[in-house]
Structure 1
């Protein structure tokens, strides 16, 4: 009975540490599929710029695998996640700048150049950029053990020990 209780406590701690990265996992998944769809549309348009979302998708896949590994081997530092969100923030910023220029059709040849389309793309880019920025802040807090989840984990460890 005591061994099962210890196993249950260990599993609870493992899940708590893993759940510190929950928002990062969901953000990674959202951006991963956003880049996948963008790449598919660019490939359908036979555009050489498809390399950009393919590279972001690949980096996002490495980020996802890095996060899966966290369940067995907890670590506060996620280099692929940090790089992925930094690149997403940079690319979103560059794309926002090019949105109202002639470069729009290089990155989005499958879209019509109309105000509703531009507004939608602008919203997606700004939303994705804000998401990437917030995830970078969260990663930094986790790395320094300053996140709320870590404080809850410490309180839980004090209770069970």
Structure 2
């Protein structure tokens, strides 16, 4: 093998590795919103559990943390083995929606003071908590919609991924 052919082979190999890494990164980035939302709610639940650690209320955030942990493990595996079916993530986000809905109901009951002992029990604070829980549900619904789109390959990142793969295929044919 001549020096020029070795260089060409090396350049081709480097370019192929770049393309493979780009594809892998694009596949992984489809789940970016889901990863950030998972991390956000994990830490919200963690802080809530720490604050409420000496009460019976700690059970709810701890349960959510356990379910979140399964979703986190599932999401970490995505970089090595691509899948568009995130079963544990769907279970987690739906569980968090149910938890937020129950907490919203609690803002209008005497349970509020038990569930949110770290917040003064005033009408204004109840409204603030209600607003934050509603924002949380809105984010959870957006993430749930994204998960559903990804599971049927209808998300915009998938379209970009296919377009990139097609451009690579066309480039190789020339």
Unaligned runs of 5+ in 1: none
Partner of 2:142: 134
Q: Distance in 1 between matches of 2:131 and 2:68?
A: 21
TM-score normalised by structure 2 residue count: 0.88
Aligned to 2:156: 148
User: Could you say what secondary structure the match of 1:113 adopts?
Assistant: coil
Give 4+ residue runs of structure 1 displaced > 6 Å after superposition: none
Higher relative contact order (CA 8 A, sep 6+): 1
SS at match of 2:28: helix
Q: Separation in 2 of the partners of 1:98 and 1:122?
A: 9
Q: CA deviation at 1:115?
A: 2.5
C-alpha displacement at 1:131, in angstroms? Answer: 1.1
**Structure 2 residue 32 is the aligned partner of structure 1 residue 22:** yes
Question: Aligned match of 2:20 in 10, 33, 44?
Answer: 10
Does structure 1 residue 88 correspond to structure 2 residue 89? no
Q: Which residue is 1:39 aligned to? A: 49
**CA distance in 1 between partners of 2:31 and 2:13 (Å):** 28
> Gapped runs of 5+ residues in structure 2?
1-10, 170-174
Counting matched residue pairs gives: 159
Q: Which residue of 2 aligns with 1:111?
A: 119
* Distance in 1 of aligned mates of 2:37 and 2:131: 16
Q: Once superposed, what is the RMSD of the aligned Cα atoms?
A: 0.9
Moved more, 147-156 or 126-135: 126-135
How far apart are the structure 2 equivalents of 1:30 and 1:112? 24
User: Partners of 2:74 and 2:132 in 1: how far apart?
Assistant: 25
Aligned to 2:172: none
Residue-by-residue CA offset, 1:89-133 (whole Å, 9 max, x unaligned): 111111101112111122112221013321221122111111111
Report the alpha carbon displacement of residue 39 of structure 1 after superposing the two structures with TM: 0.6
Structure with greater Cα Rg: 2
